[in-house]
Structure 1
Amino acid sequence: MPYFLLTLFVLIIDQLLKVVVVSKLNVFENVWIIKNIFSITLVYNYGAAFGILQSQTLLLIILSLAVILFVWINRKKLAGYPTLFQIGLALALGGAFGNLVDRIRLGYVIDFLDFQVWPVFNLADIAIVAGVGLVIIGLYSDKSETWKKFNEEPAKAAGLSVGKEDLK
């Protein structure tokens, strides 16, 4: 996967930021960056995004490992996908690895970015959301055989594909 370095970069920066925040703040302590809009607030998240799957650490570890393993097994096939898709996948994997390291090492994820209007999150979460967005944009903007193949394979596997030859 040519974008491995991006995945590694996201993982390293995410973990470094978490180390800094944990060394400077106590749990639930915050430092205002923009008063009443944005603060750095240390929170330990025992679930997934938006607080779902609370205390399901083992399940979240297994799901993360399954996604990472799927991408690793299919890495050669995915290398032929559009550039935006690959960048998005690299970002999402970096984020997944960042949160996975926390879950395995600590049993929870360190969150610290607090915009007051939604749950506290971290750089790994940003990378996952941005990455998934780029994967979708990359697929929809690609008018090549890759996009056609991406759409046809699941339908063929399910026996749902109907081509011109089937309509005769």
Structure 2
Amino acid sequence: MRKALWIILGVLILDQALKIWVKTSFTLGEDLVITDWFILHFTENPGMAFGVEFGGTWGKLLLSVFRIATVVLIFLWLKKLSKRDIPFGGIVAVALILAGALGNIIDSALYGIIFEASTYDHISQAFPADGGYAPFLFGKVVDMFYFPIFKGYLPEWLGGDYFVFFRPVFNLADAAISTGVGLLILHQKSVFKEEDTSSKEEISPENQNKQP
């Protein structure tokens, strides 16, 4: 369990450090082009991972509550798994999923209180005198990774439209969740295998009296 906690802490520190740097250094929509296919593009996501939104004020509140409940359940699951003899890769998988979920919860829960709103012509400041841009649990998730690996037009038989792969903008927490899910699929047999008690022979009173 200790190694899993170190993984969670490491992902959280990196995720939050990157988000805070982007939030307080970029205007909304600003790009930092590293290569043609690797761009830091500052955007904010009021909904789920990879820019998916979940409708309206009540949808946002339900999503935040659901995230918190999910994190609690995943943490309890991780504690249970750590007591079993499973490959370490399975523990890493669940730890990454938990860390990613926590990273995005921090944004939703606290960023609206800590920061002023980011705009296309203004860089957000922390702890503004007039208060933050949103109440508790209504903050926006900071996204920045954009990988337009392929850009071009589809063949005519596919419609001929302009196409970008990979279009969604995401963050380190999203990447941790996706990596964790991938590892979980690889280790599913060991992680989801229930403890085998069928091989334990029940000893009846008659068997107890038998001498070898």
State the TM-score bracket (shorter-chain normalisation).
0.7 to 0.9
1:112 is matched with: 144
2:182 is matched with: 133
Structure 1 stretches of at least 4 aligned residues deviating more than 4 Å after TM superposition: none
CA separation of 1:147/1:71 partners in 2, compared to 1, >3 Å: closer, same or farther?
A: closer
2:61 is matched with: 58
Q: Which amino acid aligns with 1:22?
A: K
Match of 1:74, SS?
Answer: helix
Match of 1:31, SS?
Answer: strand
Cα deviation for residue 41 of structure 1 reads 0.7
Cα deviation for residue 74 of structure 1 reads 3.5
Cα separation, 2, equivalents of 1:74 and 1:60: 21
Cα separation, 1, equivalents of 2:76 and 2:30: 42
Cα separation, 2, equivalents of 1:89 and 1:112: 24
Cα separation, 2, equivalents of 1:57 and 1:132: 24
Q: CA deviation digits over 1:57-76, x for unaligned, max 9?
A: 21221121111111233344
Equivalent residues of 2:75, 2:98 under 8 A apart: no
More helix as a share of residues: 1
CA separation of 1:58/1:91 partners in 2, compared to 1, >3 Å: closer, same or farther?
A: same
Count of matched residue positions in the alignment of Structure 1 and Structure 2: 146
Equivalent residues of 1:46, 1:54 under 8 A apart: no
**Which runs of 5 or more residues in structure 1 are unaligned?**
153-168
Identity %: 36
The structure with the larger Rg is 2
Q: TM-score, normalised to structure 2's length?
A: 0.63
Cα separation, 1, equivalents of 2:78 and 2:170: 28
Cα deviation for residue 43 of structure 1 reads 0.3
Q: TM-score, normalised to structure 1's length?
A: 0.78
Q: Which amino acid aligns with 1:149?
A: E
Q: Which amino acid aligns with 1:24?
A: S
2:49 is matched with: 49
Q: Which amino acid aligns with 1:95?
A: G
